Structure 1
Amino acid sequence: MNRLIKWITIVFAGLVLLMVLATVLLPKFIDPNDYRSDIAKMAYEQTGLTLKINGPIDWSVFPWLGLNLKDLTVAGHDGSQLAKLEKADVSVKLLPLLTKNIEVKNATLDGLNLNLVKNQQGKGNWEVTSAKPSPPARTPPAKAPVPQATATSAPAAGTPMALDIANVAINNLTIQYSDKTTGNSYVIKNASLNTSAISNQTPFDITAKASVLSNNPKISLNTELKATVTFNLEKGLYDLNNFSLIAKPDAEPLTLTGNIHLQQQPFLTKGEFNIASFNPKQFLAQLNMPLPPMADKNAMESLTVKGSFKSNGKSLNTDNLALTLDDFNLNGFLNVDDIAKEAITFKLTGNALNLDNYLPPATSTPVAVKDQDQAPSAEPNTPEKELPLIPEALLSNLNINGSMSLTALTAANLQFDQPSITIHAADGRSEVKIASGFYKGTIELDGKTDVRVKGTPKLAVKATLKDISLNALSTPITELKPMQGDVNANMNIATEGQLQSALTRNLNGTIGFDINQGAFKEANFNKMVCEGIALVRQEKLQKKDWGTSTPFEDLSGTFTIRNGVAVNKDLTAALSSLNLKGDGTINFIDQTIDYHVGLNIRGDEQLLDNDPACEINKDYVNITWPVRCLGKLGAQQCGLDSERMANTIADLAKQEAKKHIKNTIDKKVNGLKDAFKGLFN
């Protein structure tokens, strides 16, 4: 038995010695450079690309399984150079591989240049046709039963893999992409990736750099990433800590910092991010994407964003979100509850925001007016084709539920106090509700859209205005200065269609308003009427202090809109000594107006602030003097209403007839009285 064991030991030792000699001597007797053409042929047959190895090929087997290549080129299907590599070197320790341990002495890649070109026909030089047809599939032979592993067999599949890499060095990487169909080109150059020693559960540093260039838009950007990485291959945990990503076009950099944690099973990623304060106006200008001029020259000069995130692959939550733009702060959360369905929820709060600061500045430069004497264009004026106004595709896929509230908002020079907005959209229907304090009153708006029927979106708007002070509102809207009072209004309108013409033609609803305890501040209608009466009588007004306004108790009316035409029949205003009534139509389809206004005097024989020069015969009291406004909206002409004036003249004639009959009766009665007196004298 001892003799047998001795022989087995000798044979085993011999086999081991032969293996060691083979791994050491094999590279000495087999030169891989002799197989360049075979390697190139195999590469072409498998990929259809032409590989050329111009430099030497060095390799080793034991104790390090290594490969060193220099000066490689790859040509695309059109013969153009697709890739060029100056040097590649990797060495892996052989024996640890048997126990699922990977030890890498170095991993170096230097001077890789990828040149990707898409030609005019839209085909890339990296795209190839099937190089060589694969041999027909053959029925594989029956497999022998695999013996079950014993306690002394190779490590089980669940055994964790150990990884040790001395360092990774990728330098002088260049990637060029050119699209001949669009003329666009993009370049990543001077790219590099370097690490310290990489080992399982041991933190290591990485540094990556690159320059990014683009011709459309024209961009030149230097980037740098630094971070500390830790991973646990056994548990599937990966951490990117204290990362810093810097994008720097010129002087103004954009810096993103934070931490990221990744878990494989079950999938989970979370972390924090922070975009340090930077000047977005200057940053975009450096990228040749300048922002348009703004009303506030200091607007868009400071932006900061920070928050935390968490995702399981099906949803994404961003909590503690904080954004600061100049002096505006916005805080809250924005979540994607279902990534597949793009379901978004958010709740944001902010301080005062002045949107006007970010709008184009007001200009006093007059708009150029075309010379009327200029010869007309030879091309005939053709009506512009209408474009769809409602983004149906966007609204139909919108799945959002959220709210935002601010302490104050300035928009179009209007002040909103404590405005809030809520949005709900799903299944092709959306609703937006807005509520805000507005010039000593309140405003509420509820807008709905329905795009479930393609090509015929439906819109509906309800709005309520309560106790809006015209006096306060006249500060931003100077056209309202001639009036004062508190406005109350209700609007309920609906329409459908995709084009402006259809939306106008299908407009239906009601708009009602009233102004309580108001006044026309820059006109005294009583004085105007009295001056006219005194002028006819050739008398002078005795009263001196008339004042400059005309108060009224109520000004109200209702517009009923049917198929794009608004009709009003009940405009009324009760002035101090006058009544104002109005009715008419506004055609939004034709952009025309036909409106009637009637003015009459009420009171007794001495009216209009009791000035003797204004004494009016009772016959003229409550007679309506009509005015009509007719024409295109914005260019309508107003004057005496000749049609309704006939009714006024008829009313006057009736009054005169009644007066004549009364006078005749009075004379006859007086004559009878005198006759009776004579009989008794």
Structure 2
Amino acid sequence: MKKLLIGLGILAVLVGGSYAALAMFISPERIKNTVLPTISDVLGRDVGINGDISISLFPTFGLKLEKLYVANPADLKGNMLEVEKATVAVAVLPLLKKELEIREFTLIEPKLSAVITKDGTANWTFEGLEGTTPTAEAGATEATPTELPLADLRINSIAIKDGTITYQDRMAGTSMNFTKANFSIKMPTLDATADIEGSALMDGQKLKGTLKLETPYRLMHGEEASLKLDASTPYADIIAEANLVYTAETTRPVFRADLTQINLAGDGFSTSGVGEFGIVWGNTRPEITANLNLGFLEVDSANVPSAAEGQAAPATATAEPIEWSNERIDFSGLNAFDAQASLKIDQIKADGRLIGPLNVALTVVDRRLVIALKRFDIFDGQTTGEVVLNTRTDIPSASIETHLTGLQIERALPDEAEPYGASGTIASHTKLTTKGHSVKAFVNNLNGVVDLTATQVGATKFDLEKTAELHLGALGPVVTKNVSDKTIAAIKQKLTTMAFSTVFKNGNGQTVIKFEGPVLAQGGEGIVNLPAADISLRMNPLLKANETRDIVLPFYIEGPLNAPEFKPDQDGITREVARQAARICAQKLLGKALKKGDGKLGILGNILQDASNLQADETQTEGEADANAQQDPNPVKDLKKAFGSLLGK
């Protein structure tokens, strides 16, 4: 008994001495005067506490901080991180058994400001940490621990309360704001279920979700553990289940997730399927594999909101001018990993119409990205293609090539595609190349061709009045006033060809359009100027009004690419009227001469005499013109009367 008491006394002295030593070593003053300056030096940023600091050592090691902050880099105002209050409490005795018990870890009102500046620098990149990662010697392999440093981990409470996260990408001109963010983790032991819950407002719209990881101990020891996710976002509701495996091999740690179920449903779409995801470390770059197989994808455009809930729609529909960015594109992400991924969708439906299956593969190997469209069946047509982005060279380059055959026009046009409706088959081919360090450079260096042809095209519906009004504005009703029903019926015949071709050279696309048929034909040409972001095309549609008369109604398509305008070619229309009038006059003169039955010289004389009479008619008085208007109207006299004469039955 005496020895036991002596032993307990010695233990008490040791514990008391250790406590006193820790109290002297870990004090609010030492944290402020020594620890925080050291952290500031390491990060290259000012780190400080403007409030109180309190410490407890036993039976839990506790630390409470008020008004903690981490400053932004010198070229940015304000702080990157602010925390109104932080509390940490860890049980001491379990540490002796290699067990970590987190009694509490709470951040009250944290505010994180994440910024990417216009030169591409992120404010979460700390200058003090750059270049501190040790470089492995040639031929050396990084050792991976095969045993876990902890025998157990218990989390009573990890929480974030009323947090705010602001993200700004000043290069891209985008931003996101998360407010009222609340987050919690609870896990009694590694053999139990880890429960994670979170909620926030993203730009005023609610996010919430729960995640359950069963038996994390199994995952930490290379065995399979199950994961369940249930989340609601402004864009979709997500339900997913997966089996996770992590193996810490000697040189190549591996993480794998088998998605046994994934369901996505949002405003205007729904899908379901399975997949897999994996990461292998140990080589020059991590190797990522990801495959997603969806049984179906349904899209309903009528249910897609035009403006996000809680946000006002734009005041006007005026399109902003397109300005190509000259900022240098950061392709460094392609050097961060190698990847192989695929997406397969067995069935795609859009607005109730079956489109077809989709099969896309993606690979990233040594800074070269390839997206291969292996199959996309769209409205009975077959599409294949490939996009390549190569950043291995001094000047990054890109190329795209696609092939489409057999697309059925009637299936592709929506029911509301007034005033047109058509049947036929479309084929197209695209082959483009470009290079540069910015979007503007890619546009300026674009070269290649885009071709489209259609065969056996027929008009299943054709609203001539709406068509003319669309292209000619107020002149539309004048043009279509007296078009015969027989002409409208004839338009719904098979057309011979329809072709579109644009050849790009340094961003400028020389465009040619042809549309030929027995009643309706159209030709056109012009320039699509991508560097200037505008278009200038002159179209020459020809309409056969009846069995003997036709007319060309030229118009322009010009203006910004994102808001072109249709403008009638007034001068061209007037010239066409004069041409048709001259032809009609010639037909009348020739007809009169032939009726008189004279010889060749007599016919010529009669034509000249009648032409002289017609010229005299144009100099008649206003009263004489009114008296003769019903007998032989002059088609050049008035544009409206001319159109009526040319198109009359």
Report how far residue 114 of structure 1 moved.
1.6
Q: Which amino acid aligns with 2:13?
A: P
Alignment coverage as a number of residue pairs: 481
Q: Which amino acid aligns with 1:225?
A: M
Residue 429 of structure 2 corresponds to residue 503 of structure 1:
no
RMSD between aligned alpha carbons?
5.5
Q: Work out the CA distance in 2 between the residues paired with 1:389 and 1:477.
A: 42
- Given that 1:628 and 1:639 are in contact with CA atoms closer than 8 Å, whether structure 2 keeps it comes out as yes
Residue 305 of structure 2 corresponds to residue 361 of structure 1:
yes
Report how far residue 350 of structure 1 moved.
2.1
Residue 230 of structure 2 corresponds to residue 279 of structure 1:
yes
Evaluate the alpha carbon distance shift between residue 480 and residue 211 of structure 1 in structure 2; reply closer, same or farther with a 3 A threshold: farther
Q: Which amino acid aligns with 1:334?
A: F
Say which SS state the counterpart of residue 521 (structure 1) adopts.
strand
Residue 381 of structure 2 corresponds to residue 441 of structure 1:
yes
Q: Work out the CA distance in 2 between the residues paired with 1:525 and 1:447.
A: 41
Q: How does 1:495-534 map to 2 (within 5 A)?
A: 495-523=434-462
Report how far residue 40 of structure 1 moved.
4.8
Q: Which amino acid aligns with 1:572?
A: K
Moved more, 481-490 or 357-366: 357-366
Say which SS state the counterpart of residue 394 (structure 1) adopts.
helix
Q: Work out the CA distance in 1 between the residues paired with 2:488 and 2:382.
A: 37
- Given that 1:118 and 1:181 are in contact with CA atoms closer than 8 Å, whether structure 2 keeps it comes out as no
Evaluate the alpha carbon distance shift between residue 271 and residue 564 of structure 1 in structure 2; reply closer, same or farther with a 3 A threshold: same
Instruction: Tell me the residue number matched to 1:225.
Output: 187
Deviations 1:369-411 (A, max 9, x none): 4699xxxxxxxx9998947485512234341112221212357
Instruction: Tell me the residue number matched to 1:421.
Output: 360
Residue 276 of structure 2 corresponds to residue 333 of structure 1:
yes
Moved more, 169-178 or 76-85: 169-178
- Given that 2:557 and 2:567 are in contact with CA atoms closer than 8 Å, whether structure 1 keeps it comes out as yes
Q: Work out the CA distance in 2 between the residues paired with 1:389 and 1:115.
A: 44
Q: How does 1:73-84 map to 2 (within 5 A)?
A: 76-78=31-33, 81=53, 83-84=55-56
Say which SS state the counterpart of residue 532 (structure 2) adopts.
coil
Moved more, 437-446 or 172-181: 172-181
Q: Work out the CA distance in 2 between the residues paired with 1:243 and 1:357.
A: 44
Report how far residue 488 of structure 1 moved.
0.9
Say which SS state the counterpart of residue 305 (structure 2) adopts.
coil
Report how far residue 421 of structure 1 moved.
0.9
Say which SS state the counterpart of residue 270 (structure 1) adopts.
coil
Q: Work out the CA distance in 2 between the residues paired with 1:493 and 1:476.
A: 33
Which of the residues 8, 13, 16 maps onto 1:32? 13
Which of the residues 559, 567, 583 maps onto 1:632? 559
Deviations 1:150-196 (A, max 9, x none): xxxxxxxxxxxxxx999999889444668999699xxxxxxxxxxxx
Evaluate the alpha carbon distance shift between residue 324 and residue 357 of structure 1 in structure 2; reply closer, same or farther with a 3 A threshold: farther
Moved more, 393-402 or 27-36: 27-36
Q: How does 1:109-508 map to 2 (within 5 A)?
A: 110-116=59-65, 173-175=103-105, 208-217=155-164, 218-227=180-189, 242-248=191-197, 253-258=210-215, 260=217, 269-276=221-228, 279-281=230-232, 291-292=233-234, 294=235, 299-300=236-237, 302-312=239-249, 314-318=252-256, 320-326=258-264, 328-340=271-283, 341-354=285-298, 361-362=305-306, 367=313, 369=315, 386=325, 388=327, 390-409=329-348, 416-434=355-373, 435-453=375-393, 456-475=395-414, 478=417, 481-508=420-447
- Given that 1:338 and 1:344 are in contact with CA atoms closer than 8 Å, whether structure 2 keeps it comes out as no
Instruction: Tell me the residue number matched to 2:525.
Output: 583
Instruction: Tell me the residue number matched to 1:155.
Output: none
Moved more, 489-498 or 655-664: 655-664
Say which SS state the counterpart of residue 478 (structure 1) adopts.
coil
Q: Work out the CA distance in 2 between the residues paired with 1:397 and 1:630.
A: 45
- Given that 1:122 and 1:181 are in contact with CA atoms closer than 8 Å, whether structure 2 keeps it comes out as no
What is the aligned-residue identity percentage? 12
Instruction: Tell me the residue number matched to 1:551.
Output: 494
- Given that 2:554 and 2:572 are in contact with CA atoms closer than 8 Å, whether structure 1 keeps it comes out as no
Say which SS state the counterpart of residue 351 (structure 1) adopts.
strand
Q: Work out the CA distance in 1 between the residues paired with 2:442 and 2:15.
A: 78
- Given that 1:212 and 1:219 are in contact with CA atoms closer than 8 Å, whether structure 2 keeps it comes out as no
TM-score of the two chains, using structure 2 as the length reference: 0.58
Report how far residue 468 of structure 1 moved.
1.1
Q: Work out the CA distance in 2 between the residues paired with 1:597 and 1:469.
A: 25
Q: Work out the CA distance in 2 between the residues paired with 1:645 and 1:636.
A: 21
Q: Which amino acid aligns with 1:318?
A: R
Report how far residue 210 of structure 1 moved.
1.8
- Structure 1, unmatched stretches of 5+, are 1-19, 51-72, 88-109, 125-163, 185-203, 228-239, 264-268, 282-290, 373-380, 602-606, 673-681
Evaluate the alpha carbon distance shift between residue 590 and residue 669 of structure 1 in structure 2; reply closer, same or farther with a 3 A threshold: same
Evaluate the alpha carbon distance shift between residue 575 and residue 314 of structure 1 in structure 2; reply closer, same or farther with a 3 A threshold: same
Say which SS state the counterpart of residue 554 (structure 2) adopts.
strand
- Structure 2, unmatched stretches of 5+, are 35-51, 73-80, 82-93, 115-150, 165-179, 200-207, 265-269, 469-474, 604-649
Evaluate the alpha carbon distance shift between residue 78 and residue 308 of structure 1 in structure 2; reply closer, same or farther with a 3 A threshold: closer
Instruction: Tell me the residue number matched to 1:561.
Output: 504
Say which SS state the counterpart of residue 237 (structure 2) adopts.
coil
- Given that 1:115 and 1:175 are in contact with CA atoms closer than 8 Å, whether structure 2 keeps it comes out as no
Q: Which amino acid aligns with 2:515?
A: A
TM-score of the two chains, using structure 1 as the length reference: 0.56
Report how far residue 463 of structure 1 moved.
1.6
Q: Work out the CA distance in 2 between the residues paired with 1:511 and 1:471.
A: 22
Q: Work out the CA distance in 2 between the residues paired with 1:652 and 1:31.
A: 119
Residue 544 of structure 2 corresponds to residue 595 of structure 1:
no
Say which SS state the counterpart of residue 417 (structure 1) adopts.
coil
Q: Work out the CA distance in 1 between the residues paired with 2:113 and 2:386.
A: 47
Evaluate the alpha carbon distance shift between residue 501 and residue 322 of structure 1 in structure 2; reply closer, same or farther with a 3 A threshold: same
Q: Which amino acid aligns with 1:321?
A: L
Report how far residue 490 of structure 1 moved.
0.9
Evaluate the alpha carbon distance shift between residue 412 and residue 386 of structure 1 in structure 2; reply closer, same or farther with a 3 A threshold: farther
Point out the structure with max Rg over C-alpha: 1
Report how far residue 42 of structure 1 moved.
9.0
Q: Which amino acid aligns with 1:213?
A: I
Evaluate the alpha carbon distance shift between residue 249 and residue 500 of structure 1 in structure 2; reply closer, same or farther with a 3 A threshold: closer
Say which SS state the counterpart of residue 411 (structure 2) adopts.
helix
Q: How does 1:85-124 map to 2 (within 5 A)?
A: 85=57, 87=58, 110-116=59-65
Deviations 1:345-365 (A, max 9, x none): 233322113466999524699
Say which SS state the counterpart of residue 496 (structure 2) adopts.
strand
Moved more, 472-481 or 399-408: 472-481
Deviations 1:114-163 (A, max 9, x none): 23568557699xxxxxxxxxxxxxxxxxxxxxxxxxxxxxxxxxxxxxxx
- Given that 1:485 and 1:515 are in contact with CA atoms closer than 8 Å, whether structure 2 keeps it comes out as yes
Q: Work out the CA distance in 1 between the residues paired with 2:322 and 2:450.
A: 32
Say which SS state the counterpart of residue 522 (structure 1) adopts.
strand
- Given that 1:328 and 1:353 are in contact with CA atoms closer than 8 Å, whether structure 2 keeps it comes out as yes
- Given that 1:117 and 1:177 are in contact with CA atoms closer than 8 Å, whether structure 2 keeps it comes out as no
Q: Which amino acid aligns with 2:511?
A: N
Report how far residue 517 of structure 1 moved.
0.9
- Given that 1:76 and 1:82 are in contact with CA atoms closer than 8 Å, whether structure 2 keeps it comes out as no
Q: Which amino acid aligns with 1:420?
A: N
